[in-house]
C-alpha cells in the first residue's frame, strides 16, 4: 500500500519528537540511564513527549531563525535545559552532566542544517561556540549516544564540512540578524524518514518540498509498506494535524549582547 502525505514543519517536529520517545536507546535510558535534551525547537516537543505535558516551547530555544533572520532568545527568557535520570527530572547543568554520562546514556541535540552525507550543521552565535562546543568532545570520547532530530526542510545542498570553512561570526561583513559560525556534527540523525520507520515500519520517500500560502515550508512524502503499517502511519499523520507553529521570542535589540552587522555599507 502507498500513501502520499504532506506535513508542515510543525507537524514534522511533532512526528520526530514522537519517534524519539519510541527510540530503543531513549526507552532504555528512561528506565536506567541519563537523557540530556539540549535547547531547540524540535527538542521542545521532545521534552513534551517525554514528560507528557506542555511547556512554553518558544522559551525552550537558544538560537533560532525566523522570517527576519538569525536571532537569540534572551537568557532570562529561556527555560533551563531538561535532563532525566532514570526517568526523573534532575537539576544539573548539561555541561557538568555530560562529564558523568556513559555510553548507554543519550544526548539529544537538534540542528540547523543536514547534508546528503548525514552530517548535521549547528549554528553558533556564541563567541565560544555555545553548549555544543563544550560537550561534543566528551560525547565522542565516551561513546555517549548522540541523537540529532532534524526535519528534512533543513536538508541543504553541498557539504556542511566545506560550508563551515567559510562561515564564522567575524567572517561576515553583513548579516540578516546575528552572524554565526557553523559546526559539523555527526550522530544518529532522526528525520521524518527514520521517524515513520520507528513508529510504523513503513518506508518513506520524499516527493517534494515547499508550497504556497501561509504554510510555505512543507514536505510531501510517499509512505510505502504493508497495508497495516501504512494505515498505522496514516493514523499518526492525522494525529499531527493542527500542530501549532512555535513563535519566535525576540528580545529588545537595545538590550542585546549580540550586535548584528546590518548597517554596513554594501
Map out the domains of the chain as residue ranges: 11-191
Q: Are 21 and 43 in contact (CB under 8 A)?
A: no
pTM as predicted: 0.94
Beta partners for 71? 64
At residue 71, φ and ψ (nearest 5 deg) are -155, 175
Per-residue pLDDT at 265: 46
The stretches in the chain having pLDDT less than 50 are 264-266
H/E element, 12: helix 9-22
CA atoms of 101 and 37, how far apart (whole Å): 13
CA atoms of 113 and 63, how far apart (whole Å): 13
Per-residue pLDDT at 137: 96
What residues contact 59, with CB distance under 8 A and at least 6 apart? 73, 77, 78, 79, 249
Q: Strand 218-224 and strand 203-209: pairing?
A: antiparallel
- Backbone CA torsion sign across 85, 249, 147, 4: positive
CB-hemisphere CA count at 13 Å for 167? 20
Burial of 187 (0-12, 13-18, 19+ CB in 10 A): buried
Would you state the CATH architecture of domain 11-191?
A: 3-Layer(aba) Sandwich (3.40)
188 three-state secondary structure: strand
Per-residue pLDDT at 266: 43
Per-residue pLDDT at 262: 61
Beta partners for 205? 222
Burial of 2 (0-12, 13-18, 19+ CB in 10 A): exposed
Q: Are 73 and 62 in contact (CB under 8 A)?
A: yes
Q: How much helix, strand and coil, in percent to the nearest 5, is found in the chain?
A: 35, 25, 40
Amino acid at each position: 500500500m502507498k500513501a502520499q502525505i504532506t506535513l508542515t514543519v510543525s507537524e514534522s517536529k511533532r512526528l520526530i519528537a514522537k519517534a524519539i520517545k519510541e527510540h530503543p536507546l531513549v526507552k532504555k535510558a528512561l528506565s536506567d540511564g541519563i537523557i540530556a535534551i539540549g535547547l531547540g525547537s524540535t527538542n521542545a516537543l521532545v521534552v513534551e513527549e517525554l514528560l507528557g505535558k506542555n511547556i512554553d516551547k518558544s522559551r525552550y530555544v537558544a538560537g533560532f531563525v525566523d522570517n527576519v533572520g538569525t536571532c537569540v532568545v534572551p537568557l532570562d527568557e529561556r527555560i533551563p535545559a531538561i535532563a532525566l535520570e532514570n526517568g526523573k527530572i534532575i537539576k544539573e547543568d548539561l555541561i557538568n552532566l555530560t562529564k558523568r554520562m556513559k555510553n548507554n546514556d543519550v544526548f539529544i541535540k537538534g540542528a540547523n542544517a543536514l547534508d546528503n552525507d548525514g552530517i548535521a550543521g549547528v549554528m553558533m552565535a556564541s563567541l565560544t561556540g555555545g553548549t555544543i562546543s563544550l560537550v561534543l568532545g566528551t560525547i565522542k570520547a565516551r561513546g555517549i549516544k548522540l541523537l540529532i532530530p532534524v526535519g528534512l526542510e533543513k536538508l541543504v545542498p553541498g557539504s556542511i564540512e566545506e560550508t563551515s570553512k567559510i562561515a564564522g561570526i567575524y567572517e561576515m561583513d553583513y548579516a540578516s540578524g546575528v552572524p554565526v559560525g557553523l559546526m559539523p556534527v555527526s550522530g544518529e540523525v532522526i528525520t521524518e524518514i527514520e521517524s515513520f520507520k520507528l513508529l510504523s515500519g513503513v518506508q518513506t520517500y520524499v516527493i517534494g518540498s515547499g508550497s504556497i500560502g501561509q504554510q510555505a515550508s512543507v514536505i510531501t512524502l510517499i509512505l510505502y509498506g504493508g497495508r497495516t503499517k501504512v494505515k498505522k502511519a496514516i493514523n499518526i499523520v492525522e494525529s499531527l494535524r493542527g500542530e501549532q507553529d512555535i513563535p519566535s521570542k525576540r528580545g529588545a535589540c537595545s538590550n542585546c549582547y549580540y550586535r548584528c552587522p546590518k548597517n554596513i555599507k554594501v
